[in-house]
Structure 1
Amino acid sequence: MGRKRILITGAAGFLGSHLCDRFIKEDFHVMGMDNLITGDIRNIEHLFPLENFNFYNHDVSTFVHVPGELDYILHFASPASPIDYLKIPIQTLKVGSLGTHNLLGLARSKKARILVASTSEVYGDPTVSPQSEDYWGNVNPVGPRGVYDEAKRFQEAITMAYHTFHKLETRIVRIFNTYGPRMRLNDGRVLPAFIGQALRGEDLTIFGDGKQTRSFCYVDDQVEGIFRLLMSDYPYPVNIGNPDEITINQFAEEIIKLTGTKQKVVHQDLPIDDPKQRRPDITKAKELLGWAPKVSREEGLKITYQYFKSLPQREINHKDFTYYNK
């Protein structure tokens, strides 16, 4: 019996590349696909010599074809940081709509199971906390974040339509803030932004009063949750994230302590529709998948900080302050 074959879109991205590693480790034949608009080929170049890895430089918003049989698809192609989806809003909407449609069609033709990567952003600026899967969200469809939030909400809707109408095997993961090695240092998210500022000896920038909360999940835990969900028989959305909630102010203090720097914190105006609370209810993941995060924030941050410290100085020095406490 040959290896199971899996297509992973967004393969050169932060999370996609870690998923490639996991499925290679599980002895799958992995086909990675990415148009490199936000991904980095360096994240997966260590896989190129392997006979059970192929890479396709392709935009999934156009017709998608891969040769041979296909058992699974992981659809992780999408800009995921505010800097990216504010710079390329049309592409963000297209990959969530046209791209998802193309991959659902591919899954149907190949009789493959497909898992699509949704996000905690479908909850918008929530009016309830923690956020459980039965909460419908508080989203502004025409605000600056709408291009990402609504792309993901549409993605969930069309995935469920394929499940109910075509009886396709589908899975939906709602990903909460995830961090770890291979994040881009200046991708607009609060964790790499804070560490980048600390490494450059700059003050840490907080938008708003810093009382907003976030919950950070280490990448290995996230990948484990995604793997378990793919192999489950549950077709509806499942939150995968760490419920350990922290304010942005507290998080800035943790980064200053971690890096041993003496920076002060400066505040700027809060962006439009910035979520005030972000904490997953992971009851479903615990009950259905037997999953819960294992890596503490202290442990995960140490690993991530060492990764960022090891980057070339030119990457550390490249600055972009337009991040959104994500």
Structure 2
Amino acid sequence: MKRVLITGAAGFLGSHLCEKFLSEGYYVIGMDNFLTGSEDNISHLFGNKNFEFVHHDVTKYVHVSGELDYILHFASPASPIDYLEMPIQTLKVGSLAPYNLLGLARVKGSRFIIASTSEVYGDPSVHPQPESYWGNVNPIGPRGVYDEAKRFQEAITMGYHTFHGVNTGMVRIFNTYGPRMRLNDGRALPAFMSQALRGEDITVFGDGSQTRSFCYVDDLVDGIFKLTMSDEHQPVNIGNPQEITIKEFAEEIVTLTNSGSKVIYQDLPKDDPKQRRPDITRAKEILNWTPKVDRSEGLKRTLEYFETKVDTPTTV
């Protein structure tokens, strides 16, 4: 049985990845320090004989006994609220952690996959964003701690690939949604859905004309799995190229939840990207991957989860 280490295992994406690898017949070692992850996301896996959990901070030395075929580094604060409140932790998990884990991959002969992000493109001047685009990032702006941590991750990963011959891969993740997202992490979908279910006004930053492209988590995890099983070492965009304005997205959530919420507007945060859509040509050609879940279906599945988590107002 092949063995995989997944860092950030108790997070939104990490927990879904643990499930995916278990379903494919792998022995999964999940690692997390619960900085932003939750034990609730993986508690259902604790009875699985092929799942092992290790409570550990991956910015410190990482030891795993036995053979290790794959390492997936998905530990990181990922929402604006998180990395604005925890800038140093964000930088450390994007620098010290990949250094530790790449060293482990070198010793074990593991294939190493890092979770990069569309944020490496910053506020893009090229649209849609192909992997060849170098980005437009403000390194000292409020988002710089996250953007540059991810860019450094890519640089050190490529360094270990070219200098030490480590078998590496990089997934650039675009906006993803689905069950197990934290309700108040500052991202559009959980914020909009929580506000709508509570009957509160939905807060849109800016005039709502900025765009995003939302990928359902099952599709994303399928793309990551295919990349892990490939021998590709250059970055690959994984995301849904169906683009929508934030204003339109907020209105979709209001309709879906049958809410009386009104959309209100606040100032756009500094360096917030005006547009975001992946060019997934490489994913199609190299991985034979395209997203399958339509946004309307994905939002219905996500709503079912949020309805179990959000305290909705009662009527008398």
For this structure pair, what is the TM-score category when the shorter chain's length is used for normalisation? over 0.9
- Detail structure 1 runs of 4+ shifted over 3 Å in the superposition: none
Unaligned regions of 5+ residues in structure 1, if any? 318-326
- Partner residue, 2:76: 78
- Partner residue, 1:212: 210
Q: For residue 134 of structure 1, report the CA deviation from its aligned partner.
A: 0.2
- Partner residue, 1:126: 124
- Partner residue, 1:189: 187
Return the match for 2:299 from 295, 298, 301: 301
1:82-231 mapped onto 2 (5 Å cutoff): 82-231=80-229
Q: Structure 1: how far apart are the matches of 2:140 and 2:215? A: 29
Q: Does 1:244 align with 2:242?
A: yes
- Partner residue, 2:288: 290
Q: Structure 2: how far apart are the matches of 1:199 and 1:83? A: 21
Deviations 1:94-124 (A, max 9, x none): 0000001000000001110010000000000
Q: For residue 157 of structure 1, report the CA deviation from its aligned partner.
A: 0.2
Paired amino acid for 1:82: P
1:264-279 mapped onto 2 (5 Å cutoff): 264-279=262-277
- Partner residue, 1:58: 56
Q: Structure 2: how far apart are the matches of 1:208 and 1:312? A: 26
Q: Structure 2: how far apart are the matches of 1:14 and 1:26? A: 19
| RMSD of aligned residue pairs (Cα, Å) | 0.9
Q: Structure 1: how far apart are the matches of 2:303 and 2:137? A: 33
- Partner residue, 1:323: none
What SS does the corresponding residue of 2:95 show, helix, strand or coil?
helix
Structure 1 residues 312, 242: CA separation in 2 closer, same or farther (over 3 Å shift)? closer
What SS does the corresponding residue of 1:137 show, helix, strand or coil?
coil
Q: Structure 2: how far apart are the matches of 1:187 and 1:208? A: 18
Q: Does 1:24 align with 2:22?
A: yes
What SS does the corresponding residue of 2:105 show, helix, strand or coil?
helix
Normalising by the residue count of structure 2, what TM-score does the alignment of the two structures yield?
A: 0.98
Q: Structure 2: how far apart are the matches of 1:152 and 1:303? A: 30
Q: For residue 262 of structure 1, report the CA deviation from its aligned partner.
A: 1.6
Q: Structure 1: how far apart are the matches of 2:182 and 2:13? A: 11
Q: For residue 286 of structure 1, report the CA deviation from its aligned partner.
A: 0.2
Q: For residue 233 of structure 1, report the CA deviation from its aligned partner.
A: 1.1
What SS does the corresponding residue of 2:115 show, helix, strand or coil?
strand
Number of residue pairs aligned between Structure 1 and Structure 2? 313
What SS does the corresponding residue of 1:73 show, helix, strand or coil?
strand
Q: Does 1:34 align with 2:26?
A: no
Percent identity over the alignment is: 72
Q: For residue 51 of structure 1, report the CA deviation from its aligned partner.
A: 1.1
What SS does the corresponding residue of 1:161 show, helix, strand or coil?
helix
Q: Does 1:255 align with 2:253?
A: yes
Q: Determine if contact 2:6/2:73 at 8 Å carries over to the other structure.
A: yes
Unaligned regions of 5+ residues in structure 2, if any? none
Deviations 1:9-55 (A, max 9, x none): 00000000000000000110000000000000110011111111110
Paired amino acid for 1:70: L
Q: Structure 2: how far apart are the matches of 1:100 and 1:6? A: 16
Q: For residue 176 of structure 1, report the CA deviation from its aligned partner.
A: 0.2
Normalising by the residue count of structure 1, what TM-score does the alignment of the two structures yield?
A: 0.95
Paired amino acid for 1:140: N
Q: Structure 1: how far apart are the matches of 2:46 and 2:28? A: 11
Q: For residue 312 of structure 1, report the CA deviation from its aligned partner.
A: 5.7
Q: Structure 2: how far apart are the matches of 1:125 and 1:233? A: 30
Q: For residue 311 of structure 1, report the CA deviation from its aligned partner.
A: 1.5
Q: For residue 264 of structure 1, report the CA deviation from its aligned partner.
A: 1.2
Paired amino acid for 2:173: I
Q: Structure 2: how far apart are the matches of 1:306 and 1:29? A: 30
Deviations 1:245-289 (A, max 9, x none): 000010011001100012111100000000000000000000000
Q: Structure 2: how far apart are the matches of 1:16 and 1:152? A: 17
Instruction: Tell me which moved more, 42-51 or 116-125.
Output: 42-51
What SS does the corresponding residue of 2:181 show, helix, strand or coil?
coil
